[in-house]
């Protein structure tokens, strides 16, 4: 239920709630790394996830441009691990290298084209969270992910387009 709720918020409002998106992706990346690095228990995994999630929120609030890179990095890591898990059913420690490479790619894309990258990556991350919440057969997971992704990009892209073409009116006091 938490995945569905968090996924829906990130899917539809990841650009508007940037700090939340960075925190959620940091937490998810930390959790996914933790379950692979600390298979003996969940406490170190939870601590790692909380540290990365809180660090992401603090970066987003106080150092936005550093957080832009962190969001791209964590989003790339999270997406790659979710994709590897969906395709193979498991992710080995050796595949963590590829998640770091995907994180670096996400960082570069996010910095280069911030608004649209944020819209696309937050839509993908939200779609992955939402898709994981449904007990669908494997054959339906990819189409479900695509539908959620398109929905998120359309909603966030529409909001972004509207804001760019309809800037807020300034109130003047007379």
pLDDT tens per residue across span 3-12: 788 888 888 8
Q: Domain containing 156: what range? A: 2-163
Could you give phi then psi for residue 145, rounded to 5 degrees?
-60, -45
Q: Which two tokens stand for residue 87?
A: 């395709």
Q: Which residue from 150, 91, 94, 92 is spatially nearest to 119, judged by alpha carbons?
A: 150
User: Higher-confidence residue: 136 or 69?
Assistant: 69
Residues 69-121 have pLDDT tens digits of 888 888 888 888 888 877 777 767 777 788 889 999 989 888 888 888 889 98
Question: Does 169 reside within a domain?
Answer: no
Question: Does 144 reside within a domain?
Answer: yes
Residues 17-76 have pLDDT tens digits of 888 888 888 888 888 888 888 877 688 888 988 998 898 888 888 888 887 888 888 888
Question: Does 168 reside within a domain?
Answer: no
Region of poorest pLDDT, from 1-15, 48-62, 117-131, 143-157: 1-15
pTM: 0.66
Question: Does 62 reside within a domain?
Answer: yes
Looking up tokens 């937490």 gives 27
Question: Does 72 reside within a domain?
Answer: yes
List, in order, residues 6 or more apart from 21 with CB less than 8 Å away.
Answer: 10, 14, 15, 60, 71, 118, 122, 125
Phi-psi region of 89 (alpha: psi -120 to 50; beta: other; left: phi over 0): left
Q: Which helix (H) or strand (E) holds 86?
A: helix 64-88
Number of domains in the chain: 1
Question: Does 170 reside within a domain?
Answer: no
Question: Does 174 reside within a domain?
Answer: no
């Amino acid at each position: 239920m938490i995945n569905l709720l968090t996924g829906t918020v990130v899917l539809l409002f990841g650009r508007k709630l940037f700090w939340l998106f960075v925190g959620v992706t940091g937490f998810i990346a930390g959790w996914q790394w933790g379950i692979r690095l600390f298979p003996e228990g969940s406490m170190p995994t939870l601590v790692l996830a909380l540290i990365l999630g809180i660090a992401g929120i603090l970066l987003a609030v106080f150092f936005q441009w550093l957080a832009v890179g962190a969001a791209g990095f964590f989003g790339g890591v999270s997406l790659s691990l979710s994709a590897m898990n969906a395709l193979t059913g498991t992710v080995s420690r050796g595949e963590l290298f590829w998640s770091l490479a995907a994180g670096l790619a996400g960082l570069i894309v996010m910095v280069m084209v911030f608004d649209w990258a944020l819209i696309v990556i937050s839509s993908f991350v939200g779609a992955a969270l939402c898709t994981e919440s449904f007990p669908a057969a494997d054959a339906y997971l990819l189409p479900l992910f695509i539908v959620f992704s398109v929905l998120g990009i359309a909603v966030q892209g529409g909001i972004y387009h509207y804001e760019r073409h309809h800037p807020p009116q300034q109130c003047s006091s007379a």
